[in-house]
Amino acid sequence: MSLLDIAMRSYTELLFVVFLDEAPSTLDSIMRLKSQLSDLIEPDFGLLDHLLSLDVLTRKQRSKVRAGEKATYERTEAVLDLLTSEVQCGKFLVALKQTGQQHVVNFITQNGGQNNNLTLCTNVNNDVLQTLTWYCSQ
């Protein structure tokens, strides 16, 4: 596990240690997990329309993905092949959430289950809410 930074802070009697691990980009994660995602993602029932409305796909691209007698996994792979930027990937995650596929978002953001993303919340000085994220590789 490669640690980029160790941050320590003390707020009154609270002490937090945060380990920030170098996380892969969303695009890198999606491409690396492509074969698994092709089995998890349901491209029909609204996903393609949401991707169109979010400007991830053009009408022509959406039609191309839908064309023919392709299997579900082939349509999903066609969509994944069209993702070329982090901005598109962010919108893709939004579209997945909007179509009830939060489990896929979790799979992608957790690097296929390889990273734990633990968020801790605590009240500091009775007013300030600190959220710390710990990335740990298993």
Structural domains in the chain, sorted by start = 3-137 (1.10.533.10)
Q: Looking at per-residue confidence, does 72 or 122 come out higher? A: 72
Residue 24 DSSP class: P
Q: Is the pTM of this model over 0.85?
A: no
pLDDT bucket at 134, cuts 50 / 70 / 90: very low
**Tokens representing residue 128 in the block:** 């300030």
Q: Is the pLDDT of residue 138 over 50?
A: no
Model confidence at 42: pLDDT above 50:
yes
Who contacts 127 (Cβ-Cβ below 8 Å, separation ≥6)?
none
Cα distances (Å, whole numbers) of residue 123 to 9, 59, 86, 119, 129:
14, 48, 33, 14, 5
